[in-house]
Amino acid sequence: MSTLTSTFATAFPGQVANLITAGRVVLLFLATAFAVSGDAMLAWVAVPLAFVALVMDWLDGYLARRLGCESKVGGLLDIVGDRIAENVWWVVFAWLHVIPLWVPIVVLSRGFVTDAIRSCALTKGFTAFGESTMMKSRLGFALVASRVSRATYGTSKVVAFVLLFSLNAAQEMSGLTPAFLSWLELVAVAATYLTVALCVIRAIPVVTAAKRVVL
């Protein structure tokens, strides 16, 4: 970390990760505005902006662990940031006809269900991740709360969204061959379907744990 960042982190250790979460929300809206602008150059600028916003999703959690300032509020804010990014981008890309409409319908429905369960669990002292995670079974923890699972899902989202932003920008350009566009669309859609599959699979343990942590 830079000297300025280190100084701020020392003075306000509990705020660094939360500020990064807020910053990535700002970036994701900026990337969205550029993507829907209809301007090819701005659409391409949206690609690195989206990538940075997605990397910041990893960075806030990393800093929270390194600075020892993990908290229930921070974990909740991280999930809120994830939901805003996922829901906004899936809806936008469906509106742009880059992906099928059923993709945001599935992802949003999944989010409503799991977040409702996690909200109820939070009132009983359980969190989605960390030491107080509601995932008590080994399989549930492995699929939802483990670093491997979260890293795999996070990586799939990064790949899928970067490809979708790139596909949208490529479609705004002239001079690209139909073969290249078809190849890019195939890869982007495949990455999207993989991400949605992981999204649904990771929701199953949360739903099965609902009876224990909610009732």
Give the pTM: 0.79
The CA distances from residue 213 to 58, 121, 132, in Å, are 27, 5, 12
Full 3-state SS string of the chain: CCHHHHHHHHHCCCCHHHHHHHHHHHHHHHHHHHHCCCCHHHHHHHHHHHHHHHHHHHHHHHHHHHCCCCCHHHHHHHHHHHHHHHHHHHHHHHHCCCCCCHHHHHHHHHHHHHHHHHHHHHCCCCECCCCCECCCCHHHHHHHHCHHHHHHHHHHHHHHHHHHHHHHHHHHCCCCCHHHHHHHHHHHHHHHHHHHHHHHHHHHHHHHCHHHHHC
Higher pLDDT, 141 or 191: 191
Q: For residues 120 and 93, what is the distance between their CA atoms, to the nearest angstrom?
A: 31
Q: Which residues of 166-193 are buried (b: 16+ CB within 10 A; e: fewer)?
A: bbbbbbbeeeeeeeeeeebbeebbebbe
**124 band by pLDDT with thresholds 50, 70 and 90:** low
Domains of the chain: 3-214 (1.20.120)
In the predicted model, is pLDDT for residue 123 greater than 70? no
pLDDT over 50 at 98, yes or no: yes
Which carries the bigger pLDDT value, residue 41 or residue 63?
41
| Rounded CA separation 35/89 (Å) | 10
Residue 46 CA to residue 167 CA, distance in Å, equals: 11
> Can you tell me the mean pLDDT for 52-67?
71
Q: How far apart are alpha carbons 132 and 125 in whole angstroms?
A: 7
Q: Which of 71-85, 110-124, 177-191 has the highest mean pLDDT?
A: 177-191
**pLDDT higher than 70, residue 128:** no
